[in-house]
Amino acid sequence: MVAPVFDWRTPIGDRRYLSHDEFSLGFAAASGNVMITFPRMKICCIGAGYVGGPTMAMIALKAPKIEVCVVDMNAARIAAWNSKTLPIYEPGLDEVVKQRRGKNLHFSTDVHGAIQAADIIFVAVNTPTKTYGVGAGRAADLRFIESVARTIAEHANGPKIIVEKSTIPVKTAETIKDILAANAHGIKFEVLSNPEFLAEGTAIADLQQPDRVLIGGERTPGGEKAIRTLVEVYAHWVPRDRIITTNLWSSELSKLVANAFLAQRISSINSISALCEATGADVDEVANAIGKDSRIGPKFLKASVGFGGSCFQKDILNLVYLCEYFGLPEVAHYWESVVKMNDWQKHRFAGKIVRALFNTVADKKIAVLGFAFKKDTNDTRESAAIAVCRALLAEQAHVVVYDPKVPADEIRHEVLGNGKDDPRLTVAPSAYEAAEGAHALAVVTEWDEFKKLDYKEIYAAMEKPAFVFDGRNILDLAKLKGFGFRVSGIGKQG
């Protein structure tokens, strides 16, 4: 027997029917009234990385009546989420996790149990660029997505809403639905797309006040109901007019296109930085001038050594592959040029260092300040520093890296590869130690602390002539020149 359980505000068509063991009846002794206690919504997120961890922590904070469990097969990573030292660095994340962990926010390796308990399952696993077979170097590797879909189908014990949170190609939802339908023994699933638009370093602020939340689903009664369910989760703190609902394919494509457009702006201004250096123009002045045009705007017009991170290059290459697959080579070539320009900018920066140091850096010490792909994160994926360090090592330089958040082992792994070593690459515990005895200083990550260093002291400890190459245009080059440095910025005259 089942009993109807619903909130009076719930539309009749959306009222849920739950078995008696899904709710409890309590009696208020004083009034004699019957109290119905509703089961709490339970959310499971598979994948405890840069997307899953912060997103679920924010949902737990803003919706304390929702039970949130983040699961991952990586026991060390889960242990870190349950410790005082979280596995990722993100300003404000520690405070959010501490507020809700052990209350309605949990981290576990029990993937199967979490799947069974959940009403909504977010999929936030890695989707790297393929390094093998068809589409190598362009297409997304969806092996982890497929593995999760099969695991859900195997262990689900009732209807579930599956939410794509990973960045995936258009039509991936069809793959997930096919796998679920073929293996779920009649259990009904609804698949939604809910791409993340977080910027590392500001992820918590982005989650608290998002520009928009995008939810895509099938335009069927079941799909529409699933969309409404997820909308209500975000509506705990996000204004309804910022929650956009679309069909599945529009949502999946929008994520790729958003990152492609942002990366395109960076590559565009970086291309102009080279022209500025050749003509005597200042790229920051040019960016300011064009950014005042309301049709263009000022964001993502900061010239630099190049963009990095887990999304931009991967998503553009994915877009390139999709265009090739659908017979659109001209479109593919257009977007591929954004990545090529970014690669060129990184190698151009390293080349400037070599040319300035009298066309050789062999046996010279080069201090590289910063290794994370941007400030306020410890993420090194596709960081410009990797290409710069490799290029300098190829020129036989002694490279000393300092980054305030990236561990030394990770720096060595990213530059050299797993288990490899090179005595020419070392990691310093401070910027001052990195710079001591160096011929040149290269700022590759825009950490705020690099603006506050005592460059007069640093100059005194360096070999002469001492060079500074500002790959982020964060330093006062005129002031450094006054100390005696030979200086070079991006898109500026030395």
Cβ proximity of 45 and 52 under 8 Å: yes
Any catalytic annotation for residue 44?
no
Integer CA distances (angstroms), 206 to 17, 64, 115, 124, in order: 36, 19, 28, 17
CA distance 23 to 20: 6
What b/e sequence results for 69-95 when a residue is b if at least 16 CB atoms lie within 10 Å of its CB, and e otherwise? bbbbeeeebbebbeeeebbbbbebbee
Q: Which of 45, 69, 311, 323 is catalytic?
A: 311
Tokens of residue 351, six digits: 């080349």
CA distance 3 to 53: 36
Q: Could you give the angle at the alpha carbon of 171 between the alpha carbons of 166 and 174, nearest 5°? A: 95
CA 276 – CA 492 distance, rounded (Å): 6
Residue 299 has phi, psi (to 5 degrees) of -75, 145
Residue 167: name the closest of 254, 231, 247, 230 by CA.
Answer: 254
Instruction: Output the CA–CA distances (angstroms, integers) from residue 265 to 149, 197, 347, 476, in the order listed.
Output: 36, 17, 19, 25
- Give Cα separations from 413 to 74, 392, 403, 408, 409 (angstroms): 19, 16, 15, 9, 6
**Catalytic residue positions?**
311
